[in-house]
Amino acid sequence: MKDIGNTAARFMATGDPTKNVKVTNWPVENMATDCLTVELIISVEDDYGQNGGIYSNTSENSLGGRNITMIGGDVNGGITWGCFGAASSPDMTSGSFQAIGTAKLFDSGGNLLVAFTLPMNHKISVSNVYKITLKIEAAAPRLWFVDRNFQGVGSATIYWVES
């Protein structure tokens, strides 16, 4: 500490004798953030036959013609699958697929204004938005084994502020 004091004195830097410290931050706009979330929950067990395909869920929100700025979005989860061969076979195959999220914004006539996939890490400003739809989907393979199962949990969320 003695060295610091001597160095400061050489540069004539004695500091604020009142010991007041002022911190200035950048101004933060007070904007309410809205969000829309959709979930995907899957549990399929099939003893025999061809299964698989696309599993999905959609959610929507009516905005009534507002001007908004999309500020972000993410998607989590997906489907895991496993299958076992015939009862006498020890073969087992398994895997997983990541879920995909898609958002679409529409005007009052149902015309598409903008569409994007998640994750979204940038801002998009859109005028006169009447409806937002958010879809999450995940693929499951077609499996030709005796015992199959698909399990899936996922969610997609988008965030916006009124502009």
Question: For the domain that residue 54 is a member of, what is the CATH number?
Answer: 2.60.120
Q: Is residue 43 part of a domain?
A: yes
Structural domains of the chain, count? 1
| 147: DSSP letter | E
Q: Give the structural domain span for 132.
A: 31-162
pTM of the model: 0.70
> What are residue 118's DSSP bridge partners?
none
Q: Report in angstroms the alpha-carbon separations of 129 from 69, 109, 117.
A: 10, 10, 18
Alpha helix locations (H) across the chain? Answer: 2-10
Q: Is residue 8 part of a domain?
A: no
Angstrom distance (rounded) from CA 70 to CA 114:
11
pLDDT tens, position by position, 32-66: 789 999 999 888 776 555 566 788 999 999 999 99
pLDDT tens, position by position, 98-156: 999 999 999 999 999 999 999 998 899 999 999 999 999 988 776 666 566 778 889 99
Angstrom distance (rounded) from CA 75 to CA 137:
10
